[in-house]
Amino acid sequence: MVAAVAAADDLELVAALGTGDDRAVLHGDLVDVAVHFQPALALMDDLRRCTEQGVHSVVGTTGLGDPELHLVRDWCDAAPEVGVLVAPNFGIGAVLLMRFAAQAAPYFESVEVVEYHHPDKADAPSGTARRTAELVAAARTSPSPDATRTGLAGARGADVEGVRVHAVRLRGMLAHEEVLLGSPGEVLTLRHDSTDRESFMPGALLGVRRVAAHPGLTVGLEHYLDPSAAAPSGPFARGPGRRSPSPRRSSPPRAARSAAPAAA
């Protein structure tokens, strides 16, 4: 991420911070956008500091639940000019997979999600799989049929708003997801594979460039893909009543990366 920001002609890298580094640079007078890739517990203090100090944030940390998102939204309400993007996945292909799955979900009787990651990943299911299941569930009007009455604990995966999500942890994998949709006589399989972390950089840079134009909390990079799209709805999206974004700076956005070493 540091190399990607430094290589971008329209961005200026101000600092790259790790565990224990001085956070004084996280101030709106010194930096415009902070990019966060650290464990969830370490993230919240930095994210609160940035929001209070007028610094927009792009968050790639996974494992954030409703309590954490409610806190972030409260901080944004107190600083309505600040934008915070929480993106379960920065891969453009992964974001499109989520969109396609939500579009297809109403037309199939059954749907399940399978995600595959390296065994060093700390959370399961992945944030991407959870977000996919949430979008699929919102697009459906009835649950998938399932006659299972007995079985080993966990055999049917996690239940995310009525959608079954299965997590595989396997050496050799990086980040992969399948959405399986079925009806009598046919199965549609949607799959995305990230084989190199470089695939996350275009989406992360897109977030850095656009977060200032999206005040408040936005969950999901999909809301940034189409600049003409309507504001996202839902409890963790930009809601009505947000103030207009601040005028764009004529100089390149100044970015700081606030991160502890962590597996994606």
How far does CA 38 lie from the centroid of its chain? 13
The string of DSSP codes covering 240-261 is TTPPPPPPPPSSPPEEEEEE--
Which run of H or of E encompasses 1?
A: none
Q: Which amino acid, one-letter code, is at 238?
A: R
Give catalytic residue positions: 117, 121
Place of tokens 């408040």: 216
Q: What one-character DSSP code corresponds to residue 162? A: T
Decide: helix, strand or coil at residue 190.
strand
> Mapping DSSP to helix (H, G, I), strand (E, B) and coil, where does residue 71 land?
helix
Q: What strand order describes the sheet that includes 110-117?
A: 158-160, 163-169, 110-117, 175-183, 186-194
Distance CA 167, CA 113 (A): 9
Sign of the four-CA dihedral 72, 132, 105, 144: negative
